[in-house]
Structure 1
Amino acid sequence: MDGEEDSAKMLRSAAQLRGLQAPDVWVPDNEDATAPNMREEGVGNIIEVVAEHGAEFPGEIHPRVVWHRDSPSTRYQGFQQLQELADPANGAIDHLDGFVIPEVGDIDDWKKADEFLTILEHEYGLETGSLSMSVIIESGEAELAMGDLREEIGKPSNNLERLFLLVDGEVDYTKDMRAMTPTGELPAWPELRHNTSRGASAAGLIAIDGPYDDIRDIEGYHERMTANRAKGMLGIWSLTPGQVIEANTAPLPPDTGQWRFEVDDRELELDGADGTQVVTSERVSVDETASGSYRFTVGDDHQELSDAELREELLDRTAYVPSMTDIVDSMEEFEAAKEAGKGAIAMTRSTTLEIDGVEIEISKDRMWDEATYLAAQTPITLFQDVYENRPDQHEELEELYGENIVERALSVGQ
């Protein structure tokens, strides 16, 4: 940047991140994050920093180069950047795992980028397919192209098996779709995130959400990731070390379980002590009546309920977020039952709710079979992958969960 003594300063800082501050995939950006007149210098900066620090960086490194589906000259500039970054004489390629290609179009455009990488591998004596390719879905064309992947991957005329990440690029997608909102803010585009997750699942790839620009809104960032995980999208583009920490920890099971209570389509996180979960909300009240029933109020809605009816109502409004220990305990219990010849078992979770001093015991029963077990295994498998591939995070993960739980989590499901 003009006025900066060291235009590679941010790259140097990112390259030296470790532990939960370091991303699984670092994308040195020579497209949107670099001014057009600085991109030649930007390539040189990436090469210099990666050559110096790449061997020690704990994650993968995938630089983003320029590209555009409608611009042959931009694609050629991207090819030139790829050549510089991949040239063994420049000292960076030994530490690079692949490249991120933005602004792709239909599947033929993806094949052009793939062919450029194949040419570089041949030119520099690299194994074919050794450089992975991630693409950013920033157009309707690219969104539709995801539907072609299952048919195209594996054809002898391409090397699309090198594909790694499918990344949403909602800003440029909004522009391409000619979408408008009254405030000028981006539409939510839940359909795009669903389609990207579906395309990645069908092709054996990884779906990544685009950047969350409000870098101070960690709560909103967390909520976005929670919604994404419900769609099968486990990754998100992070812009700051604080976002990286949240992105590294949020997909993993929490260290403690959490009871939640639904009020007005919102979930309250309950304060629990000694097995009692206290519901504190002006919108909710419970009163015992002279007849032995209960008057249950939520907002302006009043119901007179028997003891059994009240328990049922509270059960419908209550949910539990299991901790790492809870998941491991349940999986181990099911594994033991399966070993004993049982195909399904009932799991019970109980607690006491306190509302306005009135205590009500509730119990939730859930039938565990093989399908339930495999669904519960998803966050454990993620943890196992993280632990295997990120030894720099071991100490922090053991501090978070405890050594015993980490050891059990690494063994369960194997």
Structure 2
Amino acid sequence: MERRHTRKFVRTFFTSPTAVEGEDDSAKMIRRAADLRGMQAPDVWVPDNEDATAPSMRDEGAQNIIDVVSEKGGDFPGEIHPRIVWHRDSPTTRYQGFQHMLTIADPDNGAVENIDGFVIPEVGGIDDWKKADEFFTIVENEHGLDEGSLAMSVIIESGAAELAMRKLRDEMGKPDNNLERMFLLVDGEVDYTKDMRAITPTGGLPPWPELRHNTSRGASAAGCIAVDGPYDDIRDVEGYNERMKNNQAKGMLGIWSLTPGQVVEANTNPLPPKTGSWLLDADGREVELTEEDGVFVYDGDRISLEEDGDEYTLTVGGDTQTLDEEELQSELLDLASYVPSMDDIVDSMAEFEAAKEAGTGAIAITRAATLRVDGVEVDIANDRMWDEATYQAAQTPITLFQDVYENRPDQHDELAEMYGADVVERATDVGN
């Protein structure tokens, strides 16, 4: 199975309507999006000629894509994948999408040289994916493009599409299709909820963690990239970041972005932090400790600590223990966890690489800190064994950074400002 796309990761999938009714310039939204740069510019920009554009405006929207992408697409720093209309149950809709693909991809119109692929919504079972792929092949042959040169991404918006992901790996590479063109698997939770006939008391969307897991798994198995769906509450930055944190634990590092502000959050969130931090499990709530002169301070009311000679009284929630110093260190170590910085990860990887070069298969890396709770300071330290498996797992965020650095030169200055030029240089070299 040949992977035809070079991107290892996509952090941001940003859609913008291709034609806006009642405006002197109906293309103003995609014209504005085409000018985004740096952290405001997505990894994948999707001029959206489906849900974001009124049905009566879609022919004009297709022409707007041609006009804007032919003029500005060559300078856009991310990939460009227009979304066309499609529906598993509507041949008429599929034909309309096919006609728009033919028009947009016509070399005489000047846009296709800046277009990386198309996004297909509302797909059904695997046979429907193969229909779409066949249309791609016809478009490529009609316009003298290399077969497979246009990437295909799909929106998972139905139970049938979710089940189709399990069959994708077996279908790719067969001589009767070009499904190796597959690029992104993107969740569309709104239409998925409708298709599943799901009901919640508030009328809001269910969380659908299973869908995200299945999409991430399907992408991993088929050599594609998983992207989560839109987060509609665009002012809830904390909720958006929490969603990304939960997704990343499933291997889904990309997310739909509805505004340039969300793009900035989604571009930076999966990258390793600039500085390391200690967290404390405060009776089920994870709290980031504040650093003061090298000491990490807990300032809350869920944990209390009193010192009386050689004994300590530790209270977590409603649980109180009397401990000696060693027992206290052990308890706090169980409650504490460390979030490594970019520099920390690079240091650890470099240390393991040097040990492996010297013939050592595993090393212990120590992490130590002084914690302060209610004015009482306690030193904690733990040793983590690094072997080849640990090294490979730690490499994922660095590989993400390297992929970003290679594919987004417009973000180099911001990355250097974020981490420092020395850390960036080391991060681009380690693991290679």
In the alignment, which residue of structure 2 is the partner of 1:194?
213
In the alignment, which residue of structure 1 is the partner of 2:122?
103
* Partner amino acid, structure 2, of 1:197: S
Inter-partner Cα distance in structure 2 for 1:306 and 1:181: 50
In the alignment, which residue of structure 1 is the partner of 2:358?
340
Look up the SS of the partner of 2:75 in the other structure: coil
Matched, 1:358 2:391: no
In the alignment, which residue of structure 1 is the partner of 2:46?
27
**Structure 1, residues 146-195: CA drift from partner, whole Å, max 9, x if none?**
01011100000000000000000000000000000000000000000000
Q: Which has the higher contact order (CA 8 A, sep 6+)?
A: 2
Deviation at 1:46, TM superposition (A): 1.1
In the alignment, which residue of structure 2 is the partner of 1:84?
103
2:282/2:302 contact within 8 Å kept: yes
Inter-partner Cα distance in structure 2 for 1:213 and 1:400: 28
Inter-partner Cα distance in structure 2 for 1:179 and 1:121: 39
In the alignment, which residue of structure 1 is the partner of 2:287?
268
Inter-partner Cα distance in structure 1 for 2:21 and 2:163: 40
* Partner amino acid, structure 1, of 2:372: E
**Structure 1, residues 101-160: CA drift from partner, whole Å, max 9, x if none?**
000000000000000000000000000000000000000000000010111000000000
**Structure 1, residues 251-287: CA drift from partner, whole Å, max 9, x if none?**
1101110111111221111101222100011121101
Matched, 1:68 2:87: yes
Inter-partner Cα distance in structure 1 for 2:104 and 2:68: 11
Look up the SS of the partner of 2:384 in the other structure: strand
* Partner amino acid, structure 1, of 2:83: R
1:314 to 308, 329, 332: 332
**Structure 1, residues 195-242: CA drift from partner, whole Å, max 9, x if none?**
000000000000000011111111111111111110000100101111
* Partner amino acid, structure 1, of 2:311: S
**Structure 1, residues 365-401: CA drift from partner, whole Å, max 9, x if none?**
1000011011111110111111011111111101111
Comparing 176-185 with 5-14, greater Cα deviation is found at: 5-14
Deviation at 1:7, TM superposition (A): 1.2
2:311 to 280, 287, 293: 293
Matched, 1:134 2:153: yes
Inter-partner Cα distance in structure 2 for 1:183 and 1:118: 44
- Unpaired runs of 5+ residues, structure 2, are 1-19
Look up the SS of the partner of 2:39 in the other structure: helix
Inter-partner Cα distance in structure 1 for 2:60 and 2:229: 26
2:283/2:303 contact within 8 Å kept: no
Deviation at 1:28, TM superposition (A): 0.4
In the alignment, which residue of structure 1 is the partner of 2:275?
256
Inter-partner Cα distance in structure 2 for 1:42 and 1:264: 53
1:329 to 347, 360, 377: 347
Inter-partner Cα distance in structure 1 for 2:249 and 2:324: 36
Deviation at 1:340, TM superposition (A): 1.0
* Partner amino acid, structure 1, of 2:218: G
In the alignment, which residue of structure 2 is the partner of 1:393?
411
Inter-partner Cα distance in structure 2 for 1:105 and 1:313: 52
In the alignment, which residue of structure 2 is the partner of 1:168?
187
Inter-partner Cα distance in structure 2 for 1:109 and 1:340: 54
2:256 to 211, 215, 237: 237
Look up the SS of the partner of 1:208 in the other structure: strand
In the alignment, which residue of structure 1 is the partner of 2:8?
none
1:185 to 204, 213, 228: 204
- Unpaired runs of 5+ residues, structure 1, are none
**Structure 1, residues 262-317: CA drift from partner, whole Å, max 9, x if none?**
11221111101222100011121101235x21111122221112211111111111
* Partner amino acid, structure 1, of 2:302: R
Comparing 39-48 with 168-177, greater Cα deviation is found at: 39-48
Inter-partner Cα distance in structure 1 for 2:423 and 2:260: 27
Look up the SS of the partner of 1:308 in the other structure: helix
Look up the SS of the partner of 2:48 in the other structure: coil
2:304/2:373 contact within 8 Å kept: yes
In the alignment, which residue of structure 1 is the partner of 2:167?
148
Look up the SS of the partner of 1:223 in the other structure: helix
Deviation at 1:89, TM superposition (A): 1.6
In the alignment, which residue of structure 1 is the partner of 2:393?
375
Look up the SS of the partner of 1:33 in the other structure: coil
In the alignment, which residue of structure 2 is the partner of 1:412?
430
Deviation at 1:90, TM superposition (A): 1.3
Deviation at 1:2, TM superposition (A): 3.1
- After TM superposition, what 4+ stretches of structure 1 lie above 3 angstroms from structure 2? none
Inter-partner Cα distance in structure 2 for 1:273 and 1:377: 30
Inter-partner Cα distance in structure 1 for 2:67 and 2:237: 32
How many residues in Structure 1 have an aligned counterpart in Structure 2? 413
Aligned-residue RMSD, C-alpha: 0.8
* Partner amino acid, structure 1, of 2:315: T
TM-score when scaled to structure 1?
0.99
Identity level (%) = 72
In the alignment, which residue of structure 2 is the partner of 1:39?
58
Look up the SS of the partner of 1:28 in the other structure: strand
2:232 to 193, 213, 222: 213
2:229/2:255 contact within 8 Å kept: yes
TM-score when scaled to structure 2?
0.95
Inter-partner Cα distance in structure 1 for 2:407 and 2:54: 34
Inter-partner Cα distance in structure 2 for 1:2 and 1:188: 33
Deviation at 1:3, TM superposition (A): 2.2
